Structure 1
Amino acid sequence: MTLSNGRVLVTGGAGFIGSHLTERLLEDGADVTVVDDLSNGDGDRVPDAADFVEVDLTDPDTLVGRLDDIDLVFHLAASKHVDTNRPHGQFDDNTQMTRNVLEAMADADATEIAYTSSSTVYGEAPRPTPEDYAPLEPISAYGASKLADEGLLSARAHSHDLTVWNFRFANVVGPRLRGAVVPDFVEKLRDDPEHLTILGDGRQEKSYLHVEDCLDAMLHVVEHADDAMNTYNLGTRTTTSVDRIAAIVAEELGVDPEREYTGGERGWTGDVPKMRLSIEKLSALGWEPRLSSDEAVRRSTREIVDELR
């Protein structure tokens, strides 16, 4: 489908990726409505040109009447903290939000949805991990909720004439990102240039995708893939270790800190220490990332440093 002049609803549109996506859609000529409860987002990020509604998507009544005449839903809203002391609550919230979105779409006869899933649905899998890898065994409640959502979307796609674009993300980085390793290191080293505490052993190694490449990939897939259920990994062909991220951030800040490690191969409970997604399916559709994993980390470091000045 084409997005120019379309009517689009973005859930989680005040968040990191959602706010960038909203800006891009508006630039492309779409009419955008953002719904967000601001638990992970910031209302100031939502452009004035978008309609903004602050709602709790776990409430089934909040979307009533809001999807009339909507051409496409981008569903990004989720409880995103992998390490949580309420894993069942997180699972319930995420699956309830997706169920409510799907019910509201059915009531409004809306038939197109793009969903942001996660590499965490794979659990600890061989690398690079293709979309058809099985069995899918997530090791966190967050990953389990994303996998459950994929199941709900697949059932609707194959049984109720819904078109789904399902994106399994690598680690997305860029301006506005908070609560992740790159901004965490920037903030720590601004506060104390002499010392840096690193969760785990520093050897965790994952693929990092810049948010601008992420948006390009999402929109490319929506415009070029037309199956009922379109599942694509979004990532890079390269990876970056946590130690390498520490080195990049230190270089950009001009410091040389002593590193201290909390120990263990995982940074937190549910952390997948090694991750690289296969992007061969995405490449076959005609898209490649512009930045490598290291380049994405370095660019996002510079952007976050500029934001915090």
Structure 2
Amino acid sequence: MTCLITGGAGFIGSHLVDLMMELGETVHVLDNLSSGDLNNISAWLTSPRLTVFQGDILNKEHISEALEGCDTVFHLAANPEVRSENASPTDHFKQNIQGTYNLLECIRESGGVKRYVFASTSTVYGEPSVIPTPETYAPLMPISHYGASKLASEALSMAYASMYEFGCVVYRFANVIGPRSNHGVIYDFVTKLKETPSRLEVLGDGTQTKSYLYVDDCITGVMAGLDNLGHQIRIYNIGSNTRVDVLSLASAVVDVVGFEDVEIYTTGGVSGGRGWKGDVKKMQLDITLLHSKGWRAELSSLEAITETAKCLNALL
């Protein structure tokens, strides 16, 4: 396999690079390094099987250069910011939808790609009435610009795969956490505690309840759905079968950091106790379909939270 990994120097992408290199594959990485870091893949930088292209998916010339000779594409490059105050609708449209369109156009023009994997998100479901939520749930009504941009990108991906006859797998990720993450609730909590050891602010009313997936489990899940793909189009949820409320998450992080007598307090939140506009208060994915492929997450949500907090506490 010769694969292109967009966003390959980022959090999830770099772990996928690790696995591909360990398997002996040839890997091309396309990353603009806006949030990714070459230190994440430093173990492989001298390998002749890894080529890094510092470029942007908003530039088709950059994509075409990185795509040359590749038969498989893992598309992870995106603006991952869910909070509306930190990313505008324009940011999401350009970086997620326009970037995905550019990549798919280059795949169409190259004619050499046989398998395409798109990293989507549980936020495409919006606020589902069925929890755990299966892949067949409808209608899909995202409540954030991020979720909407990912849903639009899913549609583009599947349409191109159908029209131009390459295999396509869409993975809807739960909250993926672990080493090398540089944003998200656990990163925020560890950073806040380092700055103010006596108090920890929790956005929202504290009742938000979600599942968390350790990044190593996420990567093995991505590989599990690729067997005998051919020209098929598949959609899989990837998550854990447990969920944790944000106050319990905060307590777990405090325990790992080791500070005593920490006051954990909530802001009350917006729109019924959400942490921010577009925050989904309750989410757990039905992962029965990926289980049928033999995949299981090794860590529960709480175990993943604890391991992630340990990693970040040692670094920050």
Output the TM-score relative to the length of structure 2: 0.92
Q: Does 1:260 align with 2:268?
A: no
Any idea what SS the aligned residue of 1:278 has?
A: coil
Aligned partner of 1:22 in structure 2 is 17
Q: Does 1:158 align with 2:162?
A: yes
> Could you report, residue by residue, the CA deviation over 1:160-186 in whole angstroms, capped at 9, with x for unpaired residues?
202111100000010011211111111
Gaps of 5+ in 2: none
**Counterpart pick for 2:34 among 29, 33, 39:** 39
What amino acid does structure 2 have at the position aligned with 1:231? I
- The number of residues matched between the two structures is 303
**Counterparts in 2 of 1:224 and 1:170: CA distance versus 1, 3 Å:** farther
Question: Once superposed, which parts of structure 1, at least 4 consecutive aligned residues long, lie more than 2 Å away?
Answer: 223-227
> Could you report, residue by residue, the CA deviation over 1:59-107 in whole angstroms, capped at 9, with x for unpaired residues?
2222224322202110000011112352133123211111111111112
**Counterparts in 2 of 1:276 and 1:187: CA distance versus 1, 3 Å:** same
* Residues 167-246 of structure 1 aligned to structure 2 (within 5 Å): 167-223=171-227, 225-226=229-230, 228-246=232-250
- Per-residue deviation at 1:25? 0.7
2: CA distance between counterparts of 1:301 and 1:307?
Answer: 10
* Residues 120-135 of structure 1 aligned to structure 2 (within 5 Å): 120-125=123-128, 126-135=130-139
Aligned partner of 1:100 in structure 2 is 102
Percent of aligned pairs sharing the same letter: 42
Aligned partner of 1:144 in structure 2 is 148
Aligned partner of 2:92 in structure 1 is 90
Contact 1:11 1:76 in 2 (8 A): yes
Contact 2:29 2:66 in 1 (8 A): no
Gaps of 5+ in 1: 1-5
2: CA distance between counterparts of 1:184 and 1:246?
Answer: 10
Contact 2:79 2:91 in 1 (8 A): no
Contact 2:166 2:231 in 1 (8 A): no
2: CA distance between counterparts of 1:253 and 1:93?
Answer: 35
1: CA distance between counterparts of 2:24 and 2:295?
Answer: 22
Contact 2:167 2:229 in 1 (8 A): no
Aligned partner of 1:52 in structure 2 is 52
**Counterparts in 2 of 1:67 and 1:288: CA distance versus 1, 3 Å:** same
Any idea what SS the aligned residue of 1:202 has?
A: coil
**Counterparts in 2 of 1:226 and 1:297: CA distance versus 1, 3 Å:** farther
Aligned partner of 1:81 in structure 2 is 81
Contact 1:65 1:108 in 2 (8 A): no
- Per-residue deviation at 1:225? 4.9
- Per-residue deviation at 1:208? 0.2
Any idea what SS the aligned residue of 2:64 has?
A: coil
Q: Does 1:283 align with 2:278?
A: no
2: CA distance between counterparts of 1:92 and 1:307?
Answer: 32
Aligned partner of 1:72 in structure 2 is 72
2: CA distance between counterparts of 1:304 and 1:56?
Answer: 28
**Counterparts in 2 of 1:227 and 1:162: CA distance versus 1, 3 Å:** closer
**Counterpart pick for 1:10 among 5, 14, 25:** 5
Q: Which moved more, 1:178-187 or 1:123-132?
A: 178-187
